[in-house]
Amino acid sequence: MGTLSNVVRKYLTENGISDKFFEKYIGCSQSTCSKWFSHKAKLTPEQLEKTHEFLKGKHVKTIEEVLEER
């Protein structure tokens, strides 16, 4: 299956989600996330937890949440 970063890359690509959105969700700088995708850096335990949440779809907002943001 590959590394977690490879799985995330495929997930983002398949769902048309930008790296920037992912970075913001997990609280990772662009440079750190770029290095992580290149297997040159590691994420913090908190960022890894948020990454697993992200892959479970927790980043998707319900219509109620979207309407509340107005």
CA distance 68 to 44: 31
User: Does 39 score more than 80 pLDDT?
Assistant: yes
The predicted structure's pLDDT at residue 66: 85
Mean pLDDT of 10-35: 96
Burial class of residue 8 (count of CB atoms within 10 Å of its CB; 0-12, 13-18, 19+)? buried
Identify which of 38, 4, 3, 33 has the alpha carbon closest to the alpha carbon of residue 18.
Answer: 33
pTM of the model: 0.86
| Cα separation, 70 vs 66, whole angstroms | 7
Instruction: Determine contact, residues 22/12, Cβ cutoff 8 Å.
Output: yes
The CATH architecture one would assign to domain 4-68 is: Orthogonal Bundle (1.10)
